[in-house]
Amino acid sequence: MLEEVKLFVAENADQVEQFRIRFMARKGLISELFDQFKEVPPSDRRELGLLINELKVSTQEKLDYFKNLFEQSEKATGETIDLTLPAGFREPGTRHPLSIVRSEMIRIFSRLGFTVNDGPEIEDDWHNFSALNFPPEHPARDMQDTFFIAKDPDIALRTHTSSVQVRVMETTKPPIRAIFPGRVYRNEAISARAHCFFHQIEGLYIDHDVSFADLKQTLLYFAREMFSVDTQIRLRPSYFPFTEPSAEMDISCNLCGGKGCGFCKYTGWVEILGCGMVDPNVLENCGIDSKEYTGFAFGIGIERITNLRFQVKDLRMFSENDLRFLRQFEGAF
Ligand SMILES: [Zn+2]
């Protein structure tokens, strides 16, 4: 009996009551033992008496423990738990189209050995402008074009992720092969074609003997991985303060395949990015010997690539959180 009491476990209040009746009731096992005790010879009484007492104490302890346990849980819930009740439903979210495209762009450049670097969105004049060869009178330095947080010394919301390129060049010895995804800010009136913030992935490759041919091959690889294997590219001469020579790159229209359609304004080409060879002044500004090293850089708007991929006509849709728009990308990967 002592063994049975020690092993007893109750799963509910009813089982506790059954246990109490079996051992502690007026006609239960323990009172029966006390009745039989009168017939035990005096020589055995002491030993048996101790055992019966131990049984009584153990039984009471078990009863107290389980009674207390079930009373507590009843008080806490106030009612019995209905496990069949359906739980509240939380709809799973979807990836934002810009995140989908950014991840894909990062994957493509990762395959070429580019690492990913991040930097602050609030920048000083040196990292956003001066180190990148922006002359003092450049329009980007104007309040009309850039969100300044402080003047003299100038602190602004970065206008491109090139500021991260500067930070990496200042702290890393070439070879450098990195991309810089991030949000950038410009003081633009918000419309279907322009926004005060957008996203870029810039890239930088600096090593011995890096040539314009390397730049072209890297961007051709990107365009074909991003769009299709038969995508053509063309480079048009352009100007940026931080690259020389500079170019803008078009790809053959991914809708009509270059034949000409409304989307490409019947030219067969659509512009996707700016690029060029890093200006030697920029390398020197960042402590890299421009006689020993050369490099190329490029900057791609993630919104631009997303528009080409999904034909989103209005830039504002990316930041309006309209579920009717966002749900269309549920299956996109
Ligand atoms: Zn077209």
Tens of pLDDT, residues 208-222:
999 999 999 999 999
CA of 310 relative to ligand 1 center, distance in Å: 14
Tokens representing residue 243 in the block: 């690259």
Q: Which two tokens stand for residue 269?
A: 């080409």
Residues of the chain predicted below pLDDT 70: 74, 76-80, 332-333
193 Cα–ligand 1 center, Å: 18
Q: What are phi and psi of 223, to 5 degrees?
A: -60, -40
* Cα-Cα end-to-end distance for the chain: 67
**Residue from 187, 181, 128 nearest 300 by CA:** 181
Residue 270 CA, ligand 1 centroid: distance in Å: 8
- Render pLDDT for 30-52 as a digit per residue (tens, 0 to 9): 989 888 888 888 888 888 889 99
Q: Cα of 207 to ligand 1 centre, how many Å?
A: 37
Rounded to an integer, what distance in angstroms lies between the CA atom of residue 289 and that of residue 176?
13
DSSP 8-state class, residue 262: T
Q: What does 213-224 look like in DSSP terms, one character per residue? A: HHHHHHHHHHHH
Amino acid at 35: D
Amino acid occupying residue 262: G
* Distance separating alpha carbons of residues 206 and 214, to the nearest angstrom: 11
Residue 147, burial from CB neighbour count under 10 angstroms (0-12, 13-18, 19+): middle
Q: Tell me the CA–centroid distance for residue 257 and ligand 1, in Å.
A: 6
The pLDDT value given to residue 78: 63
**How far does residue 273's CA lie from ligand 1's centre (Å)?**
17
Say how many Å lie between the CA of residue 53 and the centre of ligand 1: 97
Contact predicate 272/253, CB 8 Å: no
CA of 264 to the centre of ligand 1 (A): 4
CA 298 to centroid of ligand 1, rounded, Å: 24
Query: What is the CA(230)–ligand 1 centre distance, in A?
Result: 14
For residues 65, 69, 72, 77, the Cα torsion angle rounded to the nearest 10 degrees is -170
Distance (angstroms) between ligand 1 centre and the Cα of 183 equals 29
Distance from the CA of 221 to the center of ligand 1, in angstroms? Answer: 21
Axis crossing angle, helix 97-111 with helix 212-226, rounded to the nearest 10 = 130
Q: State the distance from the centre of ligand 1 to the C-alpha of 256, rounded, in angstroms.
A: 4
CA of 165 to the centre of ligand 1 (A): 34
Say how many Å lie between the CA of residue 265 and the centre of ligand 1.
7
Q: How many angstroms separate the alpha carbon of residue 227 from the centre of ligand 1?
A: 13
Number of residues assigned to the chain: 333
Q: How far is the CA of 252 from the centre of ligand 1 (A)?
A: 8
Rg, C-alpha atoms of the chain: 38
Q: In the β-sheet with 122-124, what is the strand arrangement from edge to edge?
A: 122-124, 155-157, 148-150
- Please give the pLDDT value at position 332: 63
For 274, which DSSP code? Answer: E
